Structure 1
C-alpha cells in the first residue's frame, strides 16, 4: 500500500512538471506578444504626436455640423 502511494505521488509530480512547463511556454509567448504590442503602441503614439504637431486640426467646437 505504501509503495502504491509513492508511485501515485510520483505520477502526480510528473504531470505537474509537464503542466508547469506548458504554462511556462505560454507565459513566455505572451510576454513576447506584449512586448510587440507595447512597441506598436509607442510607434502609433509617436506618429499621432508628430501628426498633431504638423497639422493642427480645428477643435470640435469650431467645426460646423454636417447638416449645414
Structure 2
C-alpha cells in the first residue's frame, strides 16, 4: 500500500501549516510507516492511505516520488 505522510521536519517545533511537508511511502500499515520513519526526527501530523482515484491523482502530480526507507 502507498501512504502519504504529512510532517514537520523537527519534532520539537510547533506545527505550522506553511511548513508542513509530505512524503510518499510504501508500507503494510500506518504502524509500519511510523516504524520506518521513527529514526528521523519528524513530527508526523497525518498518515493517509492512498488508493483508487486518489492514488492515481497523486501519482500524476509533479511532486509524487516514493521515498526509499
- TM-score, normalised relative to structure 1: 0.17
Higher relative contact order structure (alpha carbons within 8 Å, sequence separation ≥ 6):
2
Which has the larger strand fraction? 2
When Rg is computed on C-alpha atoms for both structures, the one with the higher figure is 1
Which has the larger helix fraction? 1
- TM-score, normalised relative to structure 2: 0.17
